Amino acid sequence: MKGYIHVYTGNGKGKTTSAFGLSLRAVGAGKKVFFAQFVKGKTYSEIEAVQKFLPDITIKQYGLGCFIEKNPTPADINAAGEGLKEVSSVIRSGKYDMVVLDEANIAVYFKLFSLSDLIEVIQNKAKATEIIITGRYAPKELIEIADLVTEMKEIKHYYNKGVEARKGIEY
Amino acid sequence: MKGYIHVYTGNGKGKTTSAFGLSLRAVGAGKKVFFAQFVKGKTYSEIEAVQKFLPDITIKQYGLGCFIEKNPTPADINAAGEGLKEVSSVIRSGKYDMVVLDEANIAVYFKLFSLSDLIEVIQNKAKATEIIITGRYAPKELIEIADLVTEMKEIKHYYNKGVEARKGIEY
């Protein structure tokens, strides 16, 4: 069976959350999932849930920066590059049915690695592997090669009313 | 802590999937989740995953119809109404930190229950309970009372290329 390339982008809530939902569905069907997180280091509750309950999901974080308020350091760039290299070999190996590159769009946006490196990694995937890419600002070249693209569009967000991120809801 | 009302709507992939991702995050943080499914009966893999791995998520289906190709029968309407009644008491009880009403928008769209009944149920929630509502065609009155609304917008979908729904990816 052929695996497809999904992109979840846009400014609304639900991108990383969808990637976790897809992972849950996949392991429910007996599939193996590799979940790579670039950039964002605030997904503690999912990691706790995965480590506690879901042994068929392998989750790895490459760099813990958030980059909303500061620029990436050379160490961040290095961590993301090493991460992409590792994910590349995972994607080629065919050992996982689904590979998530969470916030890879943001990594490209902040020049942690290049778009052409990301596209090369995806295009060399094992045939049956399903690829999930998340993050705002999906570049149009990525949208072109993707098979499924959803834009999560913010219609209303409680952050604008001053509600802060909460454990178990946002992270 | 106050709980908020989320709505995930639009024609793109990622609504029910996000609700499952939110549930996973919530149980990772030690919260209890009640996941009510109206209308759609094709979420086998998530149900398998939940029953196998995630005892802190209670999942219930009310009516198994899909309604893309046929209209609801009186039995469907009855099942959805009974379901809404049960979910109503769950939402008032405060026993769950998060309650998902998956495809409730579709249930309203197909007149399985009324919008005013749905809004009444939500507005009588226990203060701390977080409410997640999914489905296309979210009515504007619901968007008005919600605290967070994301529109999942289809940019590209492989269904349009003839790819069929796959176990572990779509259901």
Closest by Cα among B95, B91, B18, B121 to A23? B18
CATH class given for the domain over B5-153: alpha beta
Q: Per-residue pLDDT for B99 more than 90?
A: yes
Which of B2, B4, B18 would you mutate first to test chain A, the one with the most A CBs within 10 A? B18
What's the confidence (pLDDT) of residue A46?
87
Q: Which two tokens stand for residue B95?
A: 């026993």
Domains in chain B: boundaries: 5-153
d(CA A151, nearest CA chain B) in Å: 5
Q: Are B3 and B132 in contact (CB under 8 A)?
A: no
pLDDT tens digits along B66-88: 665 567 888 888 999 999 999 99
d(CA B111, nearest CA chain A) in Å: 25
Pairing state between β B148-156 and B130-134: unpaired
d(CA B114, nearest CA chain A) in Å: 23
Pairing state between β B148-156 and A148-156: antiparallel
The whole-model pTM stands at 0.93
Angle between helices B15-28 and A15-28 (to 10 degrees): 90
What's the confidence (pLDDT) of residue A72?
83
Q: What is the ipTM of this complex?
A: 0.91
Residues of chain A positioned with their CB less than 8 A from the CB of B97: 168
Band the pLDDT of B63: cuts 50, 70, 90: confident
Closest by Cα among B86, B16, B87, B84 to B45? B16
Q: Per-residue pLDDT for B40 more than 70?
A: no
**Positions in chain A whose pLDDT score sits under 70:** 40-42, 64-70
Which of B129, B133, B156 would you mutate first to test chain A, the one with the most A CBs within 10 A? B156
For residue A124, which amino acid is it? N
**Cβ-defined contact of A28 to B168 (cutoff 8 Å):** yes
**Cβ-defined contact of B150 to A150 (cutoff 8 Å):** no
CA distance A24 to A31: 10
CA distance A153 to B151: 5
> Taken in order A67, A71, A76, A78, is the CA torsion positive or negative?
positive
Q: Which two tokens stand for residue A68?
A: 């909303």
Q: Which residue has the tokens 């009155």?
A: B141
Least CB-CB distance to B26: which of A54, A148, A168?
A168
What's the confidence (pLDDT) of residue A66?
64
Name the superfamily (CATH) of residues A5-152.
Answer: P-loop containing nucleotide triphosphate hydrolases (3.40.50.300)
CA distance B26 to A87: 27
pLDDT tens digits along A81-130: 999 999 999 999 999 999 999 999 999 999 999 999 999 999 999 999 99
For B114, half-sphere exposure in the C-beta direction (CA atoms, 13 angstrom radius) is: 3
What's the confidence (pLDDT) of residue A132?
98
- At A7, which helix (H) or strand (E)? strand A5-9
**Cβ-defined contact of A156 to B163 (cutoff 8 Å):** no
**Cβ-defined contact of B14 to A10 (cutoff 8 Å):** no
d(CA A127, nearest CA chain B) in Å: 15
CA distance B72 to A69: 51
Q: Which residues pair with A133 in a beta bridge?
A: A7, A101
CA distance A132 to A146: 10
Which of A2, A24, A134 would you mutate first to test chain B, the one with the most B CBs within 10 A? A24
**Cβ-defined contact of A21 to B26 (cutoff 8 Å):** no
Q: Which residue has the tokens 């050992």?
A: A95
What's the confidence (pLDDT) of residue B71?
78
Q: Which two tokens stand for residue A155?
A: 């219609």
